[in-house]
A and B are shown apart, each in its own frame.
Chain A
Amino acid sequence: MSGLRRFLHTPEAVAGVVILAALFAMALSASLLFPGDPQSIAGPALLPPFQDWSLPLGTDRLGRNVLAELFHGARTSLAVGLAAAAAALAVGAVIGTLAGFAGGLIDEVLMRITDAFQTVPGFLLALAFVSVVGPSLGVVVVAIALSTWTGPARVARAEVLSIRERDYVAGARVIGMHPLAIAFREVLPNALPPVLALSSVIVAAAILTEAALSFLGLGDPNRVTWGGMIAEGRTVLRTAPFLSIVPGIALVLTVLGVYLAGEGIVETTAVKRGLS
């Protein structure tokens, strides 16, 4: 419990958690507070914020409720960010573990594949993938995961390379455990902490990538996304800058929140491990 207390004494971490909590609350309450399609017309077009209290953040070019769009957009951002990061971490951890544990040719092949993915800029890869397969939420998640799994894979491999020389791995072989069981039951769980430490950076990057894809019109067309909102607002940037600024601020706060909370968690667990 002292870890929790230390966590709560770090103002940055608390700020991060508060932002994330607000974000989750937005995502979860979106369809309660704003039932129905957030893309339907709710009032006059281009109503500025704080004019009409039934539409606190005003309306966009087509008269849609910006606040409702913001809430529903939080959903997409969170869902895509978390799902893509989870997929990237899982794929990276498995590939890194296989490469590091098997060694030899398997390692060589897997690491060349990792190199290949890493030499292509991640965003271009995601962009190409979505343009070829077509935009939908699942495809966007896969595209982002494709462009971010290499980091976790490298970290996992480095960790596994040191763990596989430990006595307990030799001990597992001596009792006749299958190599795959050794890799995934004995080695992988012990290689996870440094891999999971990457998760805040990856979630933040995934949210930004999703926004960027949506901004370019490659997001799921059936969902409101912050990136899509920014892109929409761009056409009326001079007359109604708030249309881009509001989702932009939401995006920045989210990424900041994820990052601060993640750093706080990594730091407190690191201190805890250092003490024990």
Chain B
Amino acid sequence: MSLLTASNLTKRYSRGGKTVAAVDDVSFAIAPGETLALAGPSGSGKSTVARLVLRLIEPDGGGIVFEGDDFLALGGTALRTRRARLQMVFQDPLAAFNPRATVARVLDDPLRIHGIAPRTERPRRIAQLLERVGLAAALAQRAIHEISGGQRQRVAIARAIATKPSLIVLDEAVSALDVSVRGQILELLLDLQREQKIAYLFISHDLGVVRAIAHRIVLLDAGRIAESGDARAVIDAPRSAIGKALVAAAPRLDRNIRQDGSSTARQS
């Protein structure tokens, strides 16, 4: 049974008097512990799909079933409670945090809101979370703007896993990082997936990274699904025009990442 099923999702925006569908009749499913990549050119509706799945915006049509429940029917407290299971990591880790926050506060919030640990227990939990994502526990006292971009993205991942989610949406979560840091973060994501069976909705325009870590892929073009299937099969032999164009435009893909067992995305 799938963890999340999106069916016929549609979102329209009116622009200059006429309405444009940013997402048009998009359906997909994500199984527990699976990585589904969402790729496509800029403006194809990837972020809009992410926001719809997270209920940050409401769709004009279609449905979302998450963990067996009609996710769109949830509201108020029920929705806020369920949000613990469905987390997100943003592209720009600086913009994703309150500029006044400290690392400790950023990680304290989800623990407090979802009653995961009592107040006295939380500092220890925060230290554990930081260690789990490869950061020193002492980092907790720093302000968000005092740590590096790579550290910040690790904090974002720590925050996302704090509530033990079954699905994390990653919207271009590694795109802003430089190549070596990107590899480490991808490694961390794969470790966490193996360990906690977390599923990822992995949004990226970088087919090299997608090929390295995704099981399946959905290619979007102008809000519609152009092609979908096994990630490696689609990227190695795209059938849709947009798939061919994206592969042709991609930097040299390292086609051997998954085969040799290494999960690091190496890409020139």
A residues with a Cβ closer than 8 A to B are 166-168, 170-178, 186, 189-190
Contact = CB atoms under 8 A, between A and B. Distances in A.
A196 B48 CA distance: 36
Nearest to B169: A174
A66 B163 CA distance: 68
Given A173-B56, A177-B113, A189 B88 contact: no
B1 interface: no
Contact of A175 (B51, B92, B109): B109
B114 interface: yes
Contacts of B92: 167
Nearest to A185: B98
Interface in B138-194: 159, 163
B96 A175 contact: no
B54 interface: yes
A175 B109 CA distance: 8
A175 B100 contact: no
Q: What 4 pairs across the A-B complex have the smallest Cβ distances?
A: A176-B83, A176-B80, A167-B95, A175-B110
Contacts of B109: 172, 175, 177
Contact of A167 (B81, B87, B90): B90
Contacts of B80: 176-178
Given A176-B83, A178-B80, A171 B113 contact: no
Given A168-B95, A189-B100, A190-B100, A175 B113 contact: yes
A101 B242 CA distance: 39
A54 to B, nearest CB: 55
A273 B109 CA distance: 27
B81 A176 contact: yes
B110 A176 contact: yes
Contacts of A178: 80, 113
Contacts of A173: 56, 83
Nearest to B81: A176
